[in-house]
Chain A
Amino acid sequence: MTRAPMLGRFRHGYVAPAVLLVAALLYAPFVWTAYLSLTRYDGLSSPEWIGPANFAELLGDPALLTSTRNTLIWVAGTMILPVGLGLLVAVLSYDIRGGAWFRVPFMLPYALSGAGLALVWSPVLSHGGIANALLGVDTAFLQEAPANTLAMLLVWTWQQVGVNTLLFVVGLQSIPREPVEAARLDGASGWRLFRHVIWPLMRPLTAVVVGLALVASLKTFDIVWVLTQGGPGRNSETLAVTMYKETFVASEYGYGSAVAVMLTVVTGLASYLYLRRQVR
């Protein structure tokens, strides 16, 4: 049996549904946004071609600097908190009896939608709220930058840890038995076993968790929108919030699309660089 028949001849047909769906429903609509980024447009009359002027304006916009800074905080914070804690919970709970039930508290918050999240957390983060009382401080957690971004990051952590735990557990389950048992016979256990045997074997799913978190954190929108709408005075805006506000709230479709294009390029590039290293 030669290689080609062994692997089948219809391989492109198998990826076709995935590629077609993604191309038609996600790539194609974005072409319109890319076009709009080179125009002035209010969503109503016809777009007026102005070339790269929006991008030039973007570079000199001080608000963009804040958005970029906040977005970077989101990316770094997401890697440390939701991803890190997700790994911790997965590893701790994976093979103890009833481990699945220990994970339930972390899964529950994921079911709550954005608006519900804001309702639950506002009495906590409010000035004079529960967090103030518990910590004995007088900070208005959703007002001052960068405290507001950090506070929202904690809320986000509360909601997202469960997802990452779930994926890490799947990664742990996919580990082949033999290498682990061989290492154990060699006397490896505890931290050493984890660091040198289990962790490398988990890598495929770790790459998934980190890759997904990278993309999602660069596009952070919902949680900021429901908790602060990017304020006060734009100090908690992320790039996605800036994009949304410029496009839909201020009806500056051209400028908002330019932010979207920039965000997409950054997200695409970051995930490409990461995936090339981790997945190939």
Chain B
Amino acid sequence: MIRRTVLVVLGLVWLGPAYLLIVNASRPATSYDPGRAWAPPGELALFANFATALESADLGASLAGTLLYSVVSPLLGVVVGALAGYTIVVLRLRHGFRWFLLIFGGTVFPSQMLLVPLFVGYSDAGLYDTRAGMILIYTAVNVPLAAFVLRNFYSGMAFSIFEAARMDGASTFRIFWRVYLPISTSALMAVFILEFTFVWNDLIFGLTLTQTAAVRPVMTALAGLMTDVYAGTPVPVGLAAGLVCSLPTVVLFLATQRLFARGLSLGSV
């Protein structure tokens, strides 16, 4: 009971700003007053604001591209990272900790500083403005996280699982694919969610490495609406743009909640 109460109270605090977001995105674009931002809107203009925001963005062309990156790159990243984690921990790769450090080390670089050299490298290699190039960079960015999470996840598992499968004559890759990947679904899903969100909301790599609408991230125009003073966008429209951008991620959260609901009972704490 105490646990529920604490969760509900904290949850309400967390929903406060979310309330501000929804209330103000629903306000008619012309009647926003930050001094009364908490007050419910007189009339609902959420869809009108959506429409205004979407009007400025050419979503059709680039939606497919962005969706492709945010699904394929995390998938590849999760598999590549999990395989590395599995090899290091379960297959006890020699100098495994060093290999792990090498892979995790990919996260320590400030990504802003990678942009210019990546752009130059991509244009030399013919990867600039290609979907393959985008998938490649997003996968690379996602690998260290996946490797870290799965490496540690597998380190908590009994070696006997591996031994038993090996005795049955399964190959090491088959064991990874048929045994280790399935038992780590929730970890894989958690990593996928984080990486999907990262790719979906990313502007820095997406803008620097692409040019044509079909390859570019879908959010450019919407993000521009929210930040550019020259656009003069009313706050409710900016917020509506923010909501539109967040929608796919929210859907993903809700659709995968069930995966994180299973598990053993810890008893009443």
A interface residues with partner B (beta carbon < 8 Å):
1, 6-8, 10-12, 14-15, 17-19, 21-33, 43, 85, 88-89, 91-96, 99-116, 118-124, 126, 128-130, 158, 161, 163, 166-167, 169-170, 172-177, 180, 184, 189-191, 193-194, 198, 201, 204-205, 207-208, 211-212, 215, 219, 221, 226, 240, 243-244, 247-248, 256-257, 260, 263-264, 267-268, 271-272, 275-276, 279-280
B7: Cβ under 8 A from any A Cβ:
yes
Given known pairs A15-B84, A104-B253, the reply for A22 and B117 (CB within 8 Å) is no
Please determine whether A91 and B253 come into contact, CB atoms closer than 8 angstroms: no
What is the CB-to-nearest-CB distance from A35 to chain B, in angstroms, rounded to a whole number? 10
Chain A residue at smallest Cβ distance from B7:
A102
Asked if B47 CB lies within 8 Å of chain A CBs, one says no
Interchain CB contact under 8 A, B260 and A208 = no
A172 with B266, Cβ < 8 A, contacts A92-B6, A110-B249, A240-B112 known: yes
User: In the complex, how many angstroms separate the beta carbon of A10 from the nearest chain B beta carbon?
Assistant: 7
Closest Cβ of chain B to A181, distance in Å, is 8
Interface core residue of B151, B227, B261 (most chain A CB under 10 Å): B261
> 6 A–B contact pairs at CB < 8 A?
A22-B103, A26-B114, A102-B8, A106-B10, A116-B245, A119-B235
**Which listed residue (A122, A194, A271) contacts B269, Cβ 8 A?**
A194
B60 in the interface (beta carbon within 8 A): no
Please determine whether A174 and B109 come into contact, CB atoms closer than 8 angstroms. no
User: Contacts A10-B172, A110-B197, A173-B262: A267 and B108 contacting too (C-beta < 8 A)?
Assistant: yes
Contacts A109-B14, A163-B194 given: A189-B268 contact, CB under 8 Å?
yes
B102 x A19 contact (CB < 8 A): yes
CA distance A12 to B80 in the complex (A): 13
Chain A residues closer than 8 Å to B268, beta-carbon distance: 189-190
Residues of B near A32 (CB, < 8 A) are 116-117, 120
- A2 CB to nearest B CB, Å: 12
Residues of B within 8 A of A122 (CB): 34
Give chain B nearest CB distance to A202 CB in angstroms. Answer: 9
B20 CB to closest chain A CB, in angstroms?
Answer: 6
Structural contact, B101 and A275, CB atoms closer than 8 A: yes
**Are A130 and B37 within 8 A (Cβ)?**
yes
Query: Do the beta carbons of B7 and A92 come within 8 Å of each other?
Result: yes
Residues of B with C-beta under 8 A to A161 = 14
Residue interface mask B233-269, A partner, CB < 8 A = 1: 0010011011101110110011001101111111111
Nearest residue, chain A, Cβ from B82? A18
Interface class of chain B by DSSP: helix
- The answer for the CA separation of A260 and B116 in the assembled complex, in Å, is 14
Contact B15 A105 (CB under 8 A): yes
In the complex, besides A226-B227, A276-B97, 6 extra interface pairs with C-beta distance below 8 angstroms are: A21-B136, A26-B106, A32-B120, A89-B10, A161-B14, A173-B262
Q: Kindly state whether residue B69 has any CB partner on chain A within 8 Å.
A: no
Any A CB within 8 A of the CB of B88: yes
Name the residue of chain A whose CB is nearest to the CB of B257.
A100
Flag if B17 contacts A124 (CB, 8 Å): yes
| Whole-angstrom distance between the Cβ of B45 and the nearest chain A Cβ | 16
Contact between chains at B109 and A30 (CB < 8 Å):
yes
Closest to A37 in B: B113
User: A83: shortest Cβ distance to chain B, in Å?
Assistant: 15
Q: Which residues of B contact A264 (CB under 8 A)?
A: 108-110
Shortest distance between the CB of B31 and any CB in chain A (Å): 14
Q: Which B residues have a C-beta under 8 Å from some C-beta of A?
A: 3-4, 6-8, 10-12, 14-15, 17-18, 20-21, 24, 34-35, 37-38, 80-81, 83-84, 86-88, 91-93, 97, 99-110, 112-114, 116-118, 120-121, 136-137, 139-141, 143-145, 147-149, 151-153, 155-158, 163, 166, 171-173, 176, 186-187, 190, 193-194, 197, 201, 219, 223, 226-227, 235, 238-239, 241-243, 245-247, 249-250, 253-254, 257-258, 260-269
* A-chain residues with CB within 8 Å of residue B186 when the two chains form the complex: 169-170, 173
Q: Which residues of A contact B187 (CB under 8 A)?
A: 170, 174
Measured CA separation A268–B163 after assembly (Å): 35
B113 CB to nearest A CB, Å: 5
Q: Which residue of A lies closest to B125 (CB)?
A: A24
A128 to chain B: which residues have CB within 8 Å?
35
Q: Are the C-beta atoms of A123 and B197 separated by less than 8 Å?
A: no
Residues of A contacting B100 in the complex (Cβ-Cβ under 8 angstroms): 275, 279
Cross-chain contact of A172 among B11, B105, B263 (Cβ < 8 A): B263
CB of B140 within 8 A of CB of A11, answer no
**Chain B residues with Cβ under 8 A from A174's Cβ?**
153, 156-157, 187
Judge whether B265 and A6 touch: CB under 8 Å. Answer: no
Q: Are A275 and B104 in contact (CB under 8 A)?
A: yes
Q: Cβ of A106: which chain B residues have Cβ within 8 Å of it?
A: 10-11, 14
The residues of A that contact B264 with a CB separation of less than 8 Å are: 95, 173, 175, 177, 180
Question: A18 near B143 (CB under 8 angstroms)?
Answer: yes
Contact between chains at B17 and A109 (CB < 8 Å): yes
